[in-house]
């Protein structure tokens, strides 16, 4: 009897969910093309990145669930949507070009626990925060609504490079 209760209390999976948390595509209008956008590892000042207009993103953005696997909830444990705040409690930090060199190499990790108040079950999360580069956005270059500065100079589409992390 006790063995059956212990077996029922264990999670049937080694990993419940894999989630990618971050900010939606930020549009940066001032710093050079080697600016990094936050995965939440930073904190403190934004390294010189300041909003430059009404459409510019703030240096710290609210984290969002960008991708998840599996795409649907498990019947015994739905993915808590507020877990994004456990992954990036200080928000998604953007850093300027002065911090890019060290920020790109920095990755932090930590463990957090989520306890269901009704059942008393505790689920653990492991979070790895890192910075990813974001291209400079130049409004009004060319004929359309703007394009990245490197695209304007090189005349090629870099969507593949920006989106390649989704396929890996």
Q: Which residues of the chain have pLDDT under 50?
A: 27-51, 151-153, 155-157, 161, 168
- ∠ at Cα 22 (100, 86), nearest 5°? 110
pLDDT at 48: 39
Q: What is the pLDDT of residues 57-93, one digit of tens each?
A: 567 888 999 999 999 998 888 888 888 888 888 888 8
Residue 130 and residue 72 share a domain: yes
pLDDT at 54: 58
Tell me how many helices (H) and strands (E) the chain has: 5, 10
Task: Quote the DSSP letter at residue 83.
Answer: G
pLDDT at 39: 38
How far apart are the C-alpha atoms of 152 and 141, rounded to whole Å? 7
Residue 148 and residue 75 share a domain: no
Domain that holds residue 155: 137-168
pLDDT at 42: 36
Pairing type for strands 92-93 and 60-61 reads antiparallel
Domain total for the chain? 2
Task: Quote the DSSP letter at residue 151.
Answer: H
pLDDT at 36: 38
pLDDT at 68: 94
Place of tokens 């291209």: 135
pLDDT at 145: 52
Tokens of 2: 């006790």
Residue 144 and residue 68 share a domain: no
Is 117 within a domain? Answer: yes
pLDDT at 117: 84
| pTM confidence score | 0.55
């Amino acid at each position: 009897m006790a063995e059956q209760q212990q077996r029922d209390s264990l999670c049937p999976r080694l990993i419940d969910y894999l989630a990618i948390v971050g900010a939606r595509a930020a549009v940066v209008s001032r710093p050079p093309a080697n600016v990094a956008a936050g995965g939440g590892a930073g904190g403190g000042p934004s390294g010189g990145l300041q909003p430059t207009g009404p459409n510019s993103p703030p240096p710290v953005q609210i984290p969002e669930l960008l991708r998840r696997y599996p795409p649907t909830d498990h019947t015994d444990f739905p993915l808590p949507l507020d877990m994004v705040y456990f992954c990036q409690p200080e928000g998604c930090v953007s850093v300027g070009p002065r911090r890019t060199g060290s920020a790109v190499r920095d990755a932090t990790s930590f463990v957090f626990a989520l306890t269901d108040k009704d059942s008393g079950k505790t689920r653990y999360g492991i979070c790895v925060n890192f910075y990813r580069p974001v291209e400079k956005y130049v409004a009004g270059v060319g004929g359309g609504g703007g394009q990245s500065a490197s695209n304007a100079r090189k005349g090629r589409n870099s969507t593949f490079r920006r989106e390649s992390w989704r396929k890996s």
